[in-house]
Amino acid sequence: MEIYKAIVEICNKLAKKKIIKVSTLGKIENYKLILVEIKKKSKVNGLITAGFHGNETAPCFAILEFLKNIDDYLPLIKFNLFIIPAVNPTGLKLKRRNDKWGRNPNRGFVHRLSLLSPEGKIIKEWVIKRKTKFDAFISLHEDPGEHRFYVYTFERTYKPGKFSFILRNTGAKFFEIKNDEEAENGIDFFDCDGSFEDFLFFLGTPFTACTETPGKEDFNLRIKANLALIKSFIRFLNNFDKKL
């Protein structure tokens, strides 16, 4: 079964049991852009996305595993968690980076607005209409040409802080860390590229990130790494100080 259908199936199953809330942000042709909500009695809000690019599938499979084992994770989550499991369903179907129309769903949110894709428009409008903002965001990606792990991060500091290093160190448990001009010690900090993470930081989310597991490494290991990144994100927000 293709990953998009598998995610829809598990979401519908869990929604019927009222374990999670599932809604539709919009439609791309016959595909729904699904939103998963796990509500807690908290003022803290976190967002996770996956599947921006159709040739980066391990994060989507990690979300699928997370949902399949949601009973184990629910007691660990102390904040309101929102998940968009498959941003680019047509790209996932075609197994290619961009969507069916050749557009990159992770560009055009800010700066070069003409690059905004149909998928991007849907999630951008949803974020803008929300009454409450997110306190942290992580977008799970892969770099198909890499053997090494790295992250793009935004924080309200002049250099990478705790959030950046938590994610970098999580990836380092599984893979070699990229260290070059693009990502010094595994972190590409404050890259204003018009991406969704750039946009959310621009709107006021104090911690945003795009993680990049290496696409040339073992697929199952990449799934495990993305699950570990989700767990690290959960731990970070469980200890989040709303006054920051």
The tens digit of pLDDT for each residue in 73-112 reads 999 999 999 999 999 999 999 999 999 999 999 999 999 9
Residue range of the domain that includes 52:
3-238
Sign of CA dihedral 37, 38, 39, 43: negative
Mean model confidence pLDDT for the chain: 96
CATH code (residue 89): 3.40.630.10
Give dist(CA 134, CA 115) in Å, integer. Answer: 24
The answer to whether residue 8 is domain-embedded is: yes
The tens digit of pLDDT for each residue in 141-182 reads 999 999 999 999 999 999 999 999 999 999 999 999 999 999
The answer to whether residue 243 is domain-embedded is: no
The answer to whether residue 188 is domain-embedded is: yes
Question: How far is residue 200 from each of residues 109, 179, 218, measured CA to CA in Å?
Answer: 9, 26, 31
The tens digit of pLDDT for each residue in 176-196 reads 999 999 999 999 999 999 999
The answer to whether residue 200 is domain-embedded is: yes
Sign of CA dihedral 93, 96, 102, 105: positive
The answer to whether residue 65 is domain-embedded is: yes
The answer to whether residue 244 is domain-embedded is: no
Question: How far is residue 144 from each of residues 87, 215, 226, measured CA to CA in Å?
Answer: 18, 4, 15
- Indicate whether 219 pLDDT > 60: yes
The answer to whether residue 225 is domain-embedded is: yes
Q: DSSP assignment, residue 184?
A: B
Q: Kind and range of the H or E element at 201?
A: helix 196-203
The answer to whether residue 46 is domain-embedded is: yes
Domain count, the chain: 1
Sequence-ordered list of residues with C-beta below 8 angstroms from that of 126, at least 6 positions apart, any chain: 25, 26, 35
What confidence score (pLDDT) does residue 241 get? Answer: 75
